[in-house]
Amino acid sequence: MGKTKRFQPESNPTLPRFSGVLLYFVALPLLPGAIRALAAGSPGKAVGYALGFAAAMLAATMIRRGLMIEREAKRRKIVRRASTVPYKTTGAVIIGIGMFVVAMASGYSVFVQILFGLAASFGAWLYYGADPSRKAGDIATVGITSEELIALLDEAEGRIEKIEHARGAIRNKEFREKLQKITTGARDILGTIEEDPADARKARKFLKVYLDGAQQVTEGYVRMHKDSDGGQNMELEDNFRRVLGTIDTVITEQKQKLAENNEMDLDVQMEVLQLQLEKEGVT
């Protein structure tokens, strides 16, 4: 199957988290302008400025949504297909309409009004770019749609992040290292699935059931460790150590079976883990 890619969401340096915020600030002068126009007895001008302000706010929201989708498209090989709305293009059109209305309310000629609108739309499109392609490869033949697969990966990544968050509250160096190995291995599995979506069908139970158990046992340990006295802690830590060992073993076997395209005995091993989690009472 080749070398797997670690699945880890990250911010794209070309798409800052605050991209699109500029439009909110650019439109702010229109609001006091509408108030001054109304006070000066020019209701038509006030309404034009207010509509321009509202259009700019809506355009900024649409464009920012488009930028978020673009960030996701750049960090994934599987593009979400649920939304077909060209958010950035729609936002550029709306800002153009808004500036057209503002120019009209300001008393400019029709030619200048159109020029204002086109300049605003073209400027927004030129600065923020076009929307990414909403087409994705058809993976329905492997028993799961691209939308379902992305939801599955997102859910699994969320569980891994919660395990990492709980890990931050654990002082035991041995346990911290084991949990680090576990989360790294789990992300390797997500990377394998993203490389070959056919693996998602085999790993679905692992992602939905097993990672949930790993999250619960880690959070349960943190919670119980805070509430336990010294005598109970020793037993708790022994139980947690055994469970972490089993979790690590299951991840290793899962990775090997995915690499071998082998789905035999995997469910049996996960059933054994579930029974151990209940027996150890760490959750």
pLDDT 10s digit of each residue in the chain, 283 long? 444 343 444 444 444 456 667 778 878 888 888 888 888 888 888 999 999 999 999 999 999 888 887 776 666 666 554 456 788 899 999 999 999 999 999 889 999 999 999 999 999 888 888 876 655 455 544 566 666 777 788 888 999 999 999 999 998 899 999 999 999 999 988 888 877 777 777 677 777 777 888 888 888 888 887 765 544 567 778 888 888 888 888 888 888 877 776 555 455 555 666 666 665 555 4
Distance (Å, whole) CA 194 – CA 77:
7
Give the residue from 128, 158, 192 where a domain finishes.
Answer: 128
Distance (Å, whole) CA 198 – CA 196:
5
- Is 273 within the bounds of a domain? yes
Q: Residue 270 belongs to what domain range?
A: 143-280
Domain count, the chain: 2
Please tell me whether residues 172 and 276 are part of one structural domain.
yes
Please tell me whether residues 121 and 220 are part of one structural domain.
no
- Is 136 within the bounds of a domain? no
How far, CA to CA in Å, does 164 sit from each of 8, 217, 271? 13, 12, 24
Please tell me whether residues 148 and 256 are part of one structural domain.
yes
Spatial contact of 96 and 120, defined as CB atoms under 8 Å apart: yes
Give the residue from 65, 98, 128 where a domain finishes.
Answer: 128
Sign of CA dihedral 23, 28, 34, 37: negative
- Is 137 within the bounds of a domain? no
First to last CA, the chain: 35
- Is 178 within the bounds of a domain? yes
Please tell me whether residues 56 and 181 are part of one structural domain.
no
Please tell me whether residues 190 and 269 are part of one structural domain.
yes
Spatial contact of 124 and 92, defined as CB atoms under 8 Å apart: yes
Ramachandran region, residue 176 (left: φ > 0; alpha: ψ -120 to 50; beta: rest): alpha
Please tell me whether residues 164 and 250 are part of one structural domain.
yes
- Is 265 within the bounds of a domain? yes
Whole-model pTM?
0.57
Please tell me whether residues 117 and 220 are part of one structural domain.
no
SS3 3: coil
Distance (Å, whole) CA 133 – CA 15:
17
Residue 94: Cβ-neighbour burial (10 angstroms; 0-12, 13-18, 19+): buried
- Is 5 within the bounds of a domain? no
Please tell me whether residues 215 and 255 are part of one structural domain.
yes
Please tell me whether residues 88 and 202 are part of one structural domain.
no
- Is 205 within the bounds of a domain? yes
Kindly write down the DSSP assignment for every residue of 108-145, as one continuous string.
--HHHHHHHHHHHHHHHHHHH-PPPP------GGGTS-
Distance (Å, whole) CA 258 – CA 55:
51
Please tell me whether residues 119 and 163 are part of one structural domain.
no
